Structure 1
Amino acid sequence: MKSTEVNFDGLVGPTHNYAGLSEGNVASLNNAHDTSSPKNAAKQGLAKMKALHDMGMTQGILAPQERPDMYALRRLGFSGSDADVLEAAYKQAPALLSACCSASSMWTANAATVSPSADTENGKVHFTPANLTNKFHRSLEPETTGNILKATFSDTAHFSHHQHLPDNDHFGDEGAANHTRLCAEYGEQGVEIFTFGRYAFNRNMPMPQKFPARQTLEASKAVARLHGLNESQTVYVQQNPDVIDQGVFHNDVIAVGNQNVLFFHEQAFLDTQNFLDEVRSKFGESEFHAIEVKSSQVSVEDCVNTYLFNTQIITLPNGEMSIIAPMHCYENAAVKAYLDELVTLNTPIKHVKYYDVNESMKNGGGPACLRLRVAMTQQELAAVNQHCLMSDAKFDELNAWVDKHYRDQLSLNDLRDPALVTESRTALDELTQILNLGSVYQFQR
């Protein structure tokens, strides 16, 4: 049966700001405390979604989280009116206030791990929201993420939803940012690759020394069990601890795959040759392209600064592949030269298209961070909430929604403004009607 891969991008939330909350994420730390533009960020994200739609791709939309998270602040001991809670948090614990206002759910590569029906034991598409235990501001997301995914993929005949893994560092799970799937065709059984940063129960194994390894092997294996994956088609590989310490906080900052292409830096994995041998063995007879970028071609530092590997590789309707890259790649001479050469080589990648996602890039997320990939048959795609798929009319409707509700600028001082709570809830309540999601937010219940 014909299948397609749909990219579901996260809508940037109304409280998009630069708080520098993500240790190990160089861009996030370098731009901490800058004034953000929620409106520009949302419009940049929508423009990228529309561009892929215009290329003939099926493009999905995922709603953001409710922020500020007043429930978390009250749970942490702040009381009184919303204004009282925000003011007390701003004065007593500004880092907590920033965390509870984070719009980080825009990076839906961290929303969940997804396994298509061709790979799973029960023949359904499986979703497990990431618990994101390594960062407090992201650990607030999983329950609402699960609600949004269930409202988007509600047909139980085709979709299976799991609770996120236990909220413990031993099972730290970062979702699709550390997971990729290779296949000959989207509808055929593929090879699911889980990249992990450390062993939770064996401290003697290699691990980074400067920055945290967010994904554990134990978490990856738990997700594979939940999804009913066949061991003969599943690969676990450890991320190189040295590149984590260089700011490669997720595998999708140093490697990306699509169908029969794996595009990666030579320093991405701890044991590259054995890993590639296992992938080739499990991939089967179909042609497999392992595109390895050497440090002499592009340094790890340039990979991190430009997000060369946090690009999207998409298969166009004509069968050719294109890389969707941020403008940072275009503006870096070494990276631009490499990409210019790549499209001339004997690989399926024939095009590179550059887009402005600077508001996301400054906060530490490139094009690949902004999307969750879901491979589906035509029957499964028809069962998706159709209000969550991009169209010309939906693009206009969402841009008008952003213009109506979003602020042009937001500073850390603005996070104490109680009007921001009302603005955000009003916007999200209207959005749930636009996307036909029902009551996915706590304030709606």
Structure 2
Amino acid sequence: MNNNEPSVEVNFDGLVGPTHNYAGLSYGNVASLNNADAISNPKQAALQGLAKMKAMHDMGLKQGIFAPHARPDIDALRRLGFSGNDKQVLNKAAKESPILLRSVYSASSMWTANAATVSPSKDTVDGKVHFTSANLNNKFHRSLEPTTTTNLLKAMFTSNAFFTHHSHLPEQPFFGDEGAANHTRLCDNHSDKGLEVFVYGASSLNNSVKGPVKYPARQTLEASEAIARLHGIKDSHALFIQQNPDVIDQGVFHNDVIAVGNENVLLCHEQAFINQVQSIKQIKHAYLGEKPLHIIEVPTNEVSVQDAVGSYLFNSQLVTLPDGSMMLVAPEECKNNTSVSRYIERMLSESNPVNTVKFFDLRQSMQNGGGPACLRLRVALTQDELNAVNPQVIMSDEKFAALITWVDRHYRDRLSDADLADPQLLQESHAALDELTKILALGSVYQFQR
């Protein structure tokens, strides 16, 4: 393997599943809780996500597609004591435990930033791209995801010569891991070795580490350290920084709700990290690149934490365009928030690599607690590595057209809590994923009974 080969970043966006609903399952996620019990539109959600993917593709960026999980998870209900055929299991769960039924129907795998942590081959000792699926053990509905995520990643990144897949960490809270939402890679450009910044909310071993009081810290230091070891990241290429527990208690459930990085830019709120001045010094000292590192701190007096959470400013994507310029990919909520919009205009006028912004309508996902950055998993790949990726999961004009037709054929445009007891929804979901398996060449990823 040639570690001097140029790399390109590919964003693999989560395709919103046909059971997208507002169940309000994510304690600590303000948007998720605020929109609990609202009527969702799975078709619109999927089409909004596909529109963003296609726009990125049209700009000359490499764009991938991450398939949804099979929902409802009937096997999970059976493991919890609900017996009978599928219809009977659903009916019993609806009557006896509606919250469990909501959980097994959740389309939360759309948040692909939580799917895994990825280390590019430029950073690893063995020169391979490493993937570790997140165990997501803080929430029951998300803890159902890791095995399928690993299978999907193996169906996408198939070559053992280029890719190494690790099973998720042990499922005890000790090793709470929420994936790339708490991981940022800083470098001169994607072709260079990077500094992998792991952001944690609490420590399971060190009681002197102050954690949040109101909401849980989903990422532990011990999980982040384990992933760095599994991926073979040299000590000089890994940095562990604690998230500010006070902002976790204000609804900043992941680091990517308060900070986002790309190449030699880190955009963060001034309250993002504990002991922020010292944390920023650590990042600057550890940075491996030769270009200036641009750390853009957004002052609280310009954008409050509440406005940051409400608009998902920091859950925007920062992407490098083919001409080398940098763009902020933001939800329309940023444009509609006066203080956030004003700050973005000022940032674009100043001397830093971010020089343009594009807003997207992602209302369906925003109402469920995630924006552009939550929807994607970043993977830096050399050309040889990209050639080894399953080509059917890479966006193209033809793939976009096929997926639009697929969504139109299989998705409902209205889904309420009452609909979850309908066994026909299960059949519709399974039929949709049967067809998607062929469109994306995913093999036998889905294990539901047909």
1:241 to 230, 241, 245: 245
Amino acid of the structure 1 residue aligned with 2:35: N
Please point out which of 397, 413, 433 is paired with 1:428: 433
Q: CA deviation at 1:188?
A: 1.1
Listed one character per residue, the Cα deviations across residues 255-313 of structure 1 (whole Å, up to 9, x for unaligned) are 00000000000000002222222222222432110000000110000000000000000
| Offset of residue 442 of structure 1 | 1.4
Distance of 1:444 and 1:59 partners within structure 2: 31
Q: Residue 369 of structure 1 aligns with which residue?
A: 374
Q: TM-score, normalised by structure 2?
A: 0.98
- Counterpart CA distance in 2 for 1:298 and 1:409 is 35
Matches of residues 77-92 of structure 1 in structure 2 within 5 Å?
77-92=81-96
Q: Which residue of 2 aligns with 1:72?
A: 76
CA distance change for structure 1 residues 349 and 444 in 2, over 3 Å: closer, same or farther?
Answer: farther
Q: Quick check: 1:401 aligned with 2:377?
A: no
Task: Give me the TM-score of the superposition, normalised by structure 1.
Answer: 0.99
CA deviation profile, 1:316-367 (whole Å, cap 9, x unmatched): 0010000000000000011001001111110000001000000000000000
Matched residue, 2:415: 410
Partner of 2:300 in structure 1?
A: 295
Aligned to 1:176: 180
Match of 1:44 among 34, 43, 48: 48
Matched, 1:160 2:164: yes
**Secondary structure of 2:350's aligned partner:** coil
Distance 1:233 1:196 in 2: 17
- For structure 2, which runs of at least 5 residues remain unmatched after alignment? none
Q: Is the 8 A contact 1:322 1:350 kept in 2?
A: yes
Show CA shifts across 1:32-73 (max 9, x none).
000100000000000000010011100000100010000000
Q: Corresponding residue for 1:21?
A: 25
Does the alignment pair 1:330 with 2:335? yes
The correspondence of residues 15-414 of structure 1 with structure 2, limited to 5 A, is 15-284=19-288, 285-414=290-419
- d(CA) in 2 for partners of 1:121, 1:139: 30
Deviations along 1:112-158, one digit per CA (max 9) or x if unpaired, are 00000000010000000000000000000000000000000001100
Structure 1 residue 184: Cα displacement: 0.6
- CA positional deviation for 1:205: 2.0
Which amino acid is the alignment partner of residue 257 of structure 1?
G
* Deviation (angstroms), 1:396: 0.5
Give the partner amino acid of 1:384.
Answer: V
Structure 1 residues 186-195 or 281-290, which shifts more? 281-290
Residue type of the alignment partner of 1:437 = L
What amino acid is aligned across from residue 176 of structure 1 in structure 2?
A
SS at match of 2:419: helix
Q: Secondary structure at the match of 1:443?
A: coil
Q: Distance in 1 between matches of 2:364 and 2:430?
A: 22
Q: Which letter does structure 2 place at the counterpart of 1:357? A: L
Residue 185 of structure 1: how far off its partner (Å): 1.6
Tell me by how many angstroms 1:444 deviates: 6.0
Which amino acid in 2 is paired with 1:193? V
4+ long deviations beyond 4 Å: none
Structure 1 distance, partners of 2:78, 2:206, is 37
Q: Which moved more, 1:161-170 or 1:81-90?
A: 81-90
Aligned-residue CA RMSD in angstroms?
0.8
Question: Equivalents in 2 of 1:168, 1:420: separation in Å?
Answer: 33
Secondary structure in structure 2 of the residue aligned to 1:442 = coil
Segments of structure 1 that go 5 or more residues without pairing to the other structure are none
Judge conservation of contact 1:178–1:252 (CA < 8 Å) in 2: yes
SS of 1:380 mapped into structure 2: helix
Residue type at the aligned position of 2:63: Q
